[in-house]
């Protein structure tokens, strides 16, 4: 009979063999060939060109960007459906998360229908979320659709072991989010693809912000997408499985009928023709905000290069600020150096307002555990700090949501009430050093001032103000006048989880 020690040694040997095998099976892009592709430049104006022609003609400066804010889940989904429906040449899709739920299936179906019309569809997905490779291969088998995965796991059915064996590589994720049609219109911002981002039935509903854009920044999005699409990190999904599954018309019909997609799309729940934006779009009466815009984005090899081109560029923009800074980030871990810089900005005479999630509204309590370490220092340093309530009312146009709590997901910065940054980047070490990110900076006084005024008006009712009383952090509720002395609406176990996470040496991973 084997002793306990022998069994333990055998298990250790087995683990070494397995992990060694994992490393050797890592996907090496140099072993394959893939065909590069690039943004299609249309010889003739597309429908989207025509729809925006009046606005573009009146703002012909080459460095200007026109944008329409999408701050409601309903509008954000229908706007995506609307521009997909107008596509004539190409659709480029890039997301960190693309869920297999109602929102995901609806968008996937409309992408498929566009491909059926002859539109080229390029779908680039990060591989942190577990997808069904066979479904993606079947989707990619359409002659007008190609799917690539960013930095994929080499063990498709054992991701935990893959992470252990190749952690440094797989810890690098693509957090970028964009949808571009015909190289003319892009939607970028904080939203992934999933029910919780679009006010559809979900346990949590995210408050978020996207911008629908035309002009200079869209041309920059096109270059950004091509760079990622053709990088060594982007792997055709066909490389990840030996199966070569094909879809059939019957498969598509069953899929659409079982989910009721046709009924909901045509004259039903997701009828984008009811969206005021769409009516303005096809009538050529859409009104955009215009300003000098610039897309900021990291390079695909960000961790290897040890440089964040986005952070460097955004840092230069922030240094130009003189009077005020409003920072909105759902996951906020400022670090010691970032905390000192924010406090120094206050000392230099700037108003600094930070809005983030409370523990109860944060869907990653580990982030909150490390953020909490800096609350007292920030407030004592003059920073105005607010935490969004878990029951905050989120702007929405329909009543499908059955979420038990709301959560801030917007990632934005308002600088001197003149400039606005909107994108995928959180204010935390992961966004700064590990994940690739993208976002746009636009100088647009009217909209920036509007956002600033709305924040000052709404934040006292939707968030708790963090204060320090008798050397302790407290939460002041402006709607009730109550001062709370512990994390509001958070269970004992959630508070314990956050506290324990704050003890672990994981700040650089958050």
- The catalytic site residues sit at 175, 177, 182, 409, 411, 416
Hey, how many other C-beta atoms are within 10 angstroms of the C-beta on 344?
12
DSSP code for 237: G
CA distance 47 to 281: 10
**Measured CA distances, 261 to 102, 106, 123, 136, 152 (Å):** 9, 6, 21, 19, 30
Q: Which two tokens stand for residue 398?
A: 């329909």
Q: Which two tokens stand for residue 329?
A: 């980030």
3-state helix, strand, coil in the chain (%, to 5): 40, 20, 35
- Residue 33, judged by CB atoms within 10 A of its CB (0-12, 13-18, 19+), counts as exposed
**CB under 8 Å to 57, separation ≥6 — which residues?**
none
Structural element, H or E, at residue 295: strand 289-297
**Measured CA distances, 386 to 149, 389, 434, 464 (Å):** 37, 9, 26, 6
Residue 325 C-alpha from the chain's centroid: 22
**CB under 8 Å to 327, separation ≥6 — which residues?**
352, 353, 354, 355, 413, 427
Residue 485 C-alpha from the chain's centroid: 33
Q: Shortest CA distance to 427 belongs to which of 444, 439, 442?
A: 439
Q: Terminal CA-to-CA distance of the chain, rounded, Å?
A: 46
Q: Which two tokens stand for residue 192?
A: 């992934």
């Amino acid at each position: 009979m084997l002793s306990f020690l022998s069994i333990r040694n055998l298990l250790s040997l087995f683990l070494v063999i397995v992990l060694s095998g994992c490393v050797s099976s890592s996907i090496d892009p140099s072993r394959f060939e893939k065909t590069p592709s690039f943004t299609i430049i249309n010889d003739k104006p597309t429908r989207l060109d025509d729809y925006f022609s009046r606005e573009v003609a009146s703002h012909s400066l080459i460095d200007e960007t026109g944008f329409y804010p999408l701050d409601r889940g309903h509008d954000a989904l229908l706007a995506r459906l609307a521009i997909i429906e107008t596509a004539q040449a190409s659709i480029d899709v890039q997301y960190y998360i693309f869920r297999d739920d109602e929102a995901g299936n609806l968008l996937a179906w409309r992408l498929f229908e566009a491909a059926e019309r002859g539109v080229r569809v390029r779908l680039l997905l990060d591989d942190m979320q577990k997808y069904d490779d066979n479904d993606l291969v079947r989707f990619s088998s359409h002659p007008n659709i190609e799917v690539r995965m960013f930095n994929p796991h080499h063990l498709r059915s054992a991701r935990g072991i893959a992470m252990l064996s190749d952690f440094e590589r797989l810890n690098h994720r693509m957090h970028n989010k964009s949808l571009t049609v015909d190289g003319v219109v892009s939607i970028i911002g904080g939203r992934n693809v999933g029910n919780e981002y679009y006010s559809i039935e979900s346990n949590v509903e995210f408050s978020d912000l996207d911008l629908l854009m035309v002009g200079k920044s869209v041309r920059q999005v096109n270059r950004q997408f091509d760079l990622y699409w053709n990088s060594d990190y982007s792997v055709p999904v066909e490389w990840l499985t030996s199966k070569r599954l094909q879809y059939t018309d019957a498969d598509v019909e069953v899929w659409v009928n079982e989910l009721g997609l046709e009924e909901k799309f045509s004259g039903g729940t997701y009828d984008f023709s009811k969206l005021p934006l769409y009516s303005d779009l096809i009538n050529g009466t859409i009104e955009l905000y215009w300003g000098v815009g610039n897309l900021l984005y990291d390079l695909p090899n960000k961790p290897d290069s040890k440089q964040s081109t986005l952070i460097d560029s955004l840092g230069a923009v922030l240094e130009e600020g003189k009077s005020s800074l409003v920072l909105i980030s759902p996951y906020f871990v400022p670090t010691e150096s970032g905390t000192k810089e924010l406090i120094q900005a206050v000392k230099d005479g700037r108003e600094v307002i930070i809005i983030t999630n409370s523990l109860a509204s944060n869907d990653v309590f580990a982030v909150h555990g490390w953020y909490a370490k800096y609350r007292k220092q920030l407030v004592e340093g003059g920073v105005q700090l607010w935490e969004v309530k878990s029951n905050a009312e989120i702007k929405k146009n329909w009543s499908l949501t059955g979420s038990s709590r709301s959560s801030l997901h917007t990632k934005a910065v308002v600088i001197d009430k003149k400039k606005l940054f909107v994108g995928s980047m959180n204010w935390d070490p992961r966004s700064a050093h590990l994940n690739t990110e993208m976002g746009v900076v636009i100088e647009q006084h009217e909209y920036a001032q509007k956002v600033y005024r709305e924040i000052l008006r709404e934040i006292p009712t939707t968030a708790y103000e963090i204060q320090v009383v008798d050397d302790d952090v407290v939460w002041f509720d402006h709607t009730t006048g109550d001062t709370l002395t512990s994390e509001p609406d958070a269970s004992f176990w959630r508070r314990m989880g956050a506290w324990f996470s704050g003890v672990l040496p994981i700040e650089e991973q958050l």
